[in-house]
Amino acid sequence: MANIITYLKPVPVTKRILGFTLIIFGFLAIFTKSIGFGAVAVAFGIHFSSSEGSQIDITSKKYRKIWSIASIHIGKWKPCPEFEYISVFSTKESQRVNVVTATTNVTRSVILLNLFYGNKHQTVYKTTNKKDAFKIAEHFKVAFNIDILDATGTEKVWL
């Protein structure tokens, strides 16, 4: 049996409940009233209740970025390159929000986990919780026998 490590970005319970409620009402609308309205409701429901993350198959040395809903993971497996180290990196994420007459940018701090190989990297996880990020980085360290670079502060530190 494969030894697969799965990391998913947590989705708040209220957002997940809203998503599944929209999916149910969307399917009801498709079968009883309007296919268009129902399809839009299902699409929003899937978006609200889904999560992103990554999976690493340590046995076969493959990885994939996944999109997940209700424990169904979608993503294409790729062979793992020879990873050199994992970086825990703090950055800002910006999103533009448009309303009828106004536009604003919402910025939040996020922590990315990047696996480096050569002069390339693969982002394998995104979170807002620093403790969670280092816990996951430790799993990658053990799985691939690599070092962790803490780039969350002003000074970069090898762990």
- Give per-residue pLDDT as tens, 33-73: 888 989 999 999 998 888 888 888 877 888 888 989 888 89
Q: What is the pLDDT of residue 107?
A: 82
Task: Using CA atoms of 22, 24, 29, 35 in order, give the dihedral in degrees to the nearest 10.
Answer: 80
The answer to whether 86 touches 149, Cβ cutoff 8 Å, is yes
Report pLDDT digits (tens) over 8-29. 877 888 888 999 999 999 999 9
Torsion of CA 22, 26, 28, 32, to 10 degrees: 150
Does residue 2 register a pLDDT over 60?
no
Instruction: Determine the pLDDT at residue 1.
Output: 42
The verdict on 65 and 115 lying in the same domain is no
Are 70 and 108 found together in one domain? no
pLDDT value, residue 29:
92
State whether 59 and 127 are in the same domain: no
User: Are 137 and 149 in contact, with CB atoms under 8 Å apart?
Assistant: no
Mean of pLDDT values over 72-101? 86
Residue 116 has pLDDT above 90, yes or no: yes
Q: Are residues 57 and 91 in the same domain?
A: no
**Residues 100, 72 share a domain:** no
For the residues 102-122, what does the mean pLDDT come to?
Answer: 87
Domain with 129, as residue range(s), is 81-159
Give the Cα separation of 108 and 71 in Å (integer).
27
Co-location of 112 and 155 in the same domain: yes
Report the predicted TM-score, pTM, of the whole model to 2 decimal places.
Answer: 0.66
Q: In which band, very low, low, confident or very high, does the pLDDT at 159 lie, cut at 50, 70 and 90? A: confident
Q: Are residues 45 and 18 located together in one domain of the fold? A: yes
Provide the domain count of the chain: 2
